[in-house]
Structure 1
Amino acid sequence: MNPLDRLLLATGLLIPLWLLAGVWLTAQAYPGYDHLQQAMSQLGAEGSPTQLWSPRVSNFPLAVLFALFAWGLARRWQGSTLARVSAVLVLLHGLGSLGTGWFPCDQGCAPAQPSLSQQLHNLSGLLMFLSLTLASALWAWLGKRLAGSRTLALFSLACVVLAIATVVLMGQAAQSGHLFGLYQRLNYGISVIWVAGLAWASLRPPANALRMAAI
């Protein structure tokens, strides 16, 4: 593997750390912000004290990192159509991250009559969830067959199950108004940890490279 490919794949390891640091640092400038109750999107919402720089610290840099990782993923597993599809899904996730930053949600992020910006923000968030969940599902299939890693396959499957379970909890929390921030962080945390796991597995040589051409 050449240095460029290693560098591109290594961006996947950086994504969870960047997300954690970006959200934490931004929240420091938001008086009274509650990580357990409030959505991460509220950091960049209309009228929030961190509206202008929250997307510049989190959403936009993360979009770039996801795009770079998608490029590395496509190069690393170029012999597999399904792996390239997963790379496209990761790229779509990056576009979703860009969209959630470019289109801020309304104040509070849960208006009775959402603005166009709020609607586009919500669609971008849905794209983010669906893209990485589908990519994880693909690697639950590809992990053993392509990378020769049963661990990666089971890890990917577990992340799919947990992502779906936590998004259900997010919906319930949105209705009850209690602990939405916690469940959102668990949901997205699972997704970016999966990205880091895939990056780590992709940086290693496949256990059975002969299977690559057959997939």
Structure 2
Amino acid sequence: MEVLSSNSLLSGIAFAALVLGLLALVVSVVWGGAVYPGYDHARQFMSELGATGSVTGLMVNRWGFIPNGVLVAIFCLLSAWSLRRSAIATTACLFLAVNGVGMAFAGIYPCDFECSRSDPTIAAELHDIWGGLGYMSAIIGTGVATLWARKTDAPWLMPIGAGASVISLIGFSGIVAEVEQAGLFQRAMEIALAAFMLSLGWAVMRGLTDNRTPSPM
């Protein structure tokens, strides 16, 4: 009973961290887009709001990207601990945690003004590396968690995860190719990942267990 109580507390803290992290990102991006002259959410990356020299850079990085990344990583690590009896679930959560770390470092190392790739600075190169690593890890983590979910007492996570995986793959492809509507592709990916993590966090908070492993006594 003590283990169950401890897991319940940790999963509640984890879910709260996730919600706060997502709110930090949404508020900063919406605010940044509103005060950045001529900014187009559909065509421009979120990173441009935090770019070096932008009017919103300091605020978006300090109050959006960095806290979002840290809080998402905390959620994933606490969830990994709650689901530690399943190696697959733990692995999925650790991959998702890398996404949070990637977001935080993308805020610490902003891209150049307007995310220009002409003669990029070291910070801009690190921004792309951490951002790309974070997104790829999120896709892998979501896929692994989706496969695991079908063997749990919350199989409804599987269709949500499958949808998030497909949208994330399409979104990431659009980001890499820098299509005209790249901002829209990025936001679709972010929303899909957020929806899955919120669903996973809710399930864990409600006592999600792996049907292949015995419940703790």
Aligned partner (choices 150, 173, 179) of residue 168 of structure 1? 173
Q: Counterparts of 1:104 and 1:164 in 2: how far apart (Å)? A: 24
SS at match of 1:37: coil
Cα shift at 1:35: 1.1
Does the residue aligned with 2:38 lie in a helix, a strand or coil?
A: coil
Q: Of 54, 78, 92, which residue of structure 1 is paired with 2:84? A: 78
The percent of aligned pairs where both chains have the same amino acid is 26
Distance in 2 of aligned mates of 1:16 and 1:102: 18
Shift of 1:87: 2.2
Write out aligned runs for 1:161-200 (5 A).
Answer: 161-172=166-177, 174-175=178-179, 178-200=180-202
Query: Which residue number corresponds to residue 212 of structure 2?
Result: 211
Worse-superposed segment, 52-61 or 21-30: 21-30
Residue 157 of structure 2 aligns with which residue? Answer: 152
Change (3 A) 1:193 1:16: farther
Distance 1:49 1:156, change over 3 A: same
Question: Which of the pair has the greater relative contact order for Cα pairs under 8 Å at 6+ separation?
Answer: 1
Residue in 2 that maps onto 1:25 = 31
C-alpha separation in 2, matches of 1:124 and 1:62: 14
TM-score under structure 1 normalisation? Answer: 0.88
Match for residue 132 of structure 2 among 123, 126, 137: 126
Cα offset, 1:153, TM superposition: 1.4
In 2: Cα distance, 1:209 partner to 1:160 partner: 21
- 1:104 aligned partner: 110
Task: Say which SS state the counterpart of residue 113 (structure 2) adopts.
Answer: coil
